[in-house]
Amino acid sequence: MTPRSSRTSRTAGHLLGIDRVACDGRGLCAELLPELVELDEWGYPVIHDARVPAELLTHARRAVAACPVLALRLDRARA
């Protein structure tokens, strides 16, 4: 697991969340958002830091929309 390079630019804006019951581990999110999502050995997402940097917000939105079981979501971070 390599540290992500974009960590410095993370803002308090959005958090990536997963409904772990709904998620069936196909890993589409890791394909669309490799900067934030890795997969474990069974194909389930690992998110080391849920904060979404501003420059990845569009990609994150795309991944959320692409999740086939609506398990991925973007939450507004609380101040």
Partner 1 sequence: MNQPHPDTLPAALTRAVPVSTLPVHAGPDGPYGSRLLHGWFATGGPAGLAEHLGRYGQAPLPDGKRPSMPLIHAVEEAGLTGRGGAAFPTGRKLRSVAERRGPAVVVVNGMESEPASQKDESLLHLAPHLVLDGSALAAAAVGAAAVHLCLPRSRADQVRALLAAVEERGRAGIDRLPVQVHVLPHHYVSSEETSLVRWLNGGEARPMATPPRPFEKGVDGRPTLVDNVETLAHLALIARYGPAWFRSAGRPDAPGTTLVTVSGAVRSPGVHEIPLGTPVGAVLELSGGPSWPLAAVLVGGFFGSWLPADQAVRVPFSKAELAAAGAGPGAGVLVALPHGACGLTETARVLDYLAAQSARQCGPCRFGLPAVAEDFRLLAGGRPDGGLMDRLRRRVGLLPGRGACRHPDGASRLAATALATFADDVRHHERLGPCPGATGRPVIPVPGGPGPEQEGWR
Binding of partner 1 at residue 76 (CB under 8 A)? no
How many CA atoms within 13 Å lie on the side-chain side of 10? 18
d(CA 50, CA 53): 10
d(CA 22, CA 15): 18
Nearest residue (CB) to partner 1, 48 versus 54:
48
Binding of partner 1 at residue 31 (CB under 8 A)? no
Nearest residue (CB) to ligand SF4, 12 versus 69:
69
Please list, in sequence order, all residues whose beta carbon lies within 8 angstroms of the beta carbon of residue 56, skipping any fewer than 6 positions away.
Answer: 6, 33, 35, 36
Nearest residue (CB) to ligand SF4, 30 versus 53:
30
Residues in region 14-33 near ligand SF4 by CB under 6 A: 18, 20, 23-29
Which residues would be at the binding site for partner 1 (CB under 8 A)? 19-25, 40, 42-44, 46
